[in-house]
Amino acid sequence: MNFNRICIVLLIVFVSQNVYSIQKEFIGKIGTSYANKLDNAGLDISVNYVYDFDPYFVAGFEGSFFWLPWEKTLGYDRTGEITKKIVANSNTYSFPLFFNAQVRLPFLVEKIYVKPFFNIGIGYTGMILTYDSPEINDGTDIYPEESVTDFYHGFSWQLLAGVNFKPAPSSNIEFTGEFGYRSINTKKSNQSVDLSGLLLRFGVIFKI
């Protein structure tokens, strides 16, 4: 083994030992996110694995699940005095993955009792879209029942701000809340679905 290889091995061992010794956090959050283009909100769940490099800066990975159902009115079926709305049902199941960098302000805890933070994340999103439409008979033409499942994907980013609250100095958990904007613009061939919008989530931080 030459000198260069020895240096590379020692560097890997040094970095691995230091990363292993850094305190880590597991964060679970649940809330809602609003898709501006679709004018609807859905369920948003995320889990984070974070490295505490120092009291002011942490970084790590986030995996999320965003479920957004919505309806599209296709028309109305009028039979006598009864009018029935004909709708198509759609669902998007999104799986955003982010690398997050977060700045925390622990010195404000003594003054305002919570620890503010600012977060920026970049990543990628895969999305499954389902579309179901009933058979439509407009009196002239008959449109058959339709059921479609497609996969979309695309680059994503997010900007968030929030606070962490520790119920007691000796506690190993903290409560967290965050609010911000997330950009999710997924594409398939020449089609795109934009799920970008505001999000609001609350959760718990576990020190590992």
Place of tokens 């409560």: 175
Least confident range of 58-62, 94-98, 139-143, 166-170: 139-143
Rounding to the nearest 10 degrees, give the CA dihedral for residues 133, 198, 32, 205. 150
Q: Which of 115, 100, 150 is nearest to 129 (CA)?
A: 150
Residue range 82-107: mean pLDDT, rounded: 86
Q: Kindly tell me the sign of the dihedral angle through the C-alpha atoms of 29, 120, 65, 54.
A: negative
* DSSP string computed for 65-104: EEEEEEEEEEEEEEETTEEEEEEEEEEEEEEEEEEEEEEE
Q: What 3-state class would DSSP assign to 112?
A: helix
Place of tokens 């490295």: 51
The vertex-75 CA angle with 70 and 77, nearest 5°, equals 120
Is the Cβ–Cβ distance between 43 and 190 less than 8 Å? Answer: no
- Position 147 scores a pLDDT of 81
- The per-residue pLDDT for range 58-86, each reduced to its tens digit, is 999 999 999 999 876 655 565 556 556 66
- The per-residue pLDDT for range 18-53, each reduced to its tens digit, is 555 689 999 999 999 999 998 899 999 999 999 999
Q: Which pLDDT band holds residue 117 (cuts at 50, 70, 90)? A: very high
- Position 83 scores a pLDDT of 58
The reported pTM is 0.81
- Position 14 scores a pLDDT of 45
Per-residue b/e over 59-74, b at no fewer than 16 CB within 10 Å? ebebebebebebeeee
